[in-house]
Amino acid sequence: MSVDDAEITDRRVLRGMRNREALVSAVIELIEEGELSPTATQIADRAGVAVRSIYHHFDDLDDVSRTVADTLLGSFIELIQPIPTDGPFDKRLRPFVSQRSQLAERAMPVHRASLLLVHSSPAVAERLAFASEFLRAEMAQTFAIEFADAPKWTIETLDALCSLDGWVRLRVDQRLKVGAATKVLRGTLVALLNDGTL
């Protein structure tokens, strides 16, 4: 292969990578703007490429969804900072509630979009399950001291409320503002784990 041929190949590879990234970014932008099930045409228009480009870079729209889910899951995990698992309850409560509400708010549009695909996409279902298990484990570790003496149903109740589904319920179904939803989260944790004394 000549130098010129190598340069042409490199440019094509680079253009292909950029188009693929543009398509993934387009899906994320559309979902965050409220378009939970963007069409191939909408995705291509937003990315500035032809519709056929989607099927050149991805097997199908499910492959697009899987790649988007992986991209976002990685970015959300990067937002998570270690929370103390010992010490006074309030010292653990404050960072937990702050981080969980911020993460849930950021993830909410994509989580809602994923729920539309969960029954038809094993890959998306797997990633939703991973996120749910991760968030439950974080909560269980943060409040392990309190859960040790609490009724067994307590962790199930708080897992439901502190989940992404719980946040959607508060923010979308009950139409609470972020601040109000955060207060519900904090108040319920206090009431169930600390006798409501904070």
**Same structural domain for residues 84 and 172?**
yes
- pLDDT per residue over 157-193, tens digit each? 999 999 999 999 999 999 999 999 999 999 999 999 9
**Same structural domain for residues 119 and 184?**
yes
**Same structural domain for residues 37 and 86?**
no
Burial class for 98, CB neighbours closer than 10 Å (0-12, 13-18, 19+) = middle
- pLDDT per residue over 77-94, tens digit each? 788 899 999 999 999 999
pLDDT > 50? residue 128: yes
- pLDDT per residue over 100-120, tens digit each? 999 999 999 989 988 988 888
**Same structural domain for residues 28 and 106?**
no
**Same structural domain for residues 125 and 166?**
yes
pLDDT > 60? residue 56: yes
Residue-range definition of the domain harbouring residue 14: 3-58
Altogether, the residues listed in the chain come to a count of: 198
**Same structural domain for residues 168 and 95?**
yes
**Same structural domain for residues 92 and 189?**
yes
Residue 148 falls inside a structural domain:
yes
**Same structural domain for residues 87 and 44?**
no
**Same structural domain for residues 95 and 183?**
yes
**Same structural domain for residues 177 and 92?**
yes
In 3D, which of 117, 100, 102, 103 has the Cα closest to residue 27? Answer: 117
Residue 64 falls inside a structural domain:
no
**Same structural domain for residues 34 and 85?**
no
Please give the full DSSP string across the chain, using - where no structure is assigned.
--HHHHHHHHHHHHHHHHHHHHHHHHHHHHHHTT-SS--HHHHHHHHTS-HHHHHHHSSSHHHHHHHHHHHHHHHHHHH-----SSS-HHHHHHHHHHHHHHHHHHHHHHHHHHHTTTTT-HHHHHHHHHHHHHHHHHHHHHTHHHHHHS-THHHHHHHHHHSHHHHHIIIIIS---HHHHHHHHHHHHHHHHSTT--
Residue 163 falls inside a structural domain:
yes
Residue 77's CB is within 10 A of a number of other CB atoms, namely 12
Question: What's the CATH code of the domain at 50?
Answer: 1.10.10.60
**Same structural domain for residues 52 and 110?**
no
Which residue would you say has higher pLDDT here, 4 or 196? 196
Residue 198 falls inside a structural domain:
no
Count structural domains, the chain: 2
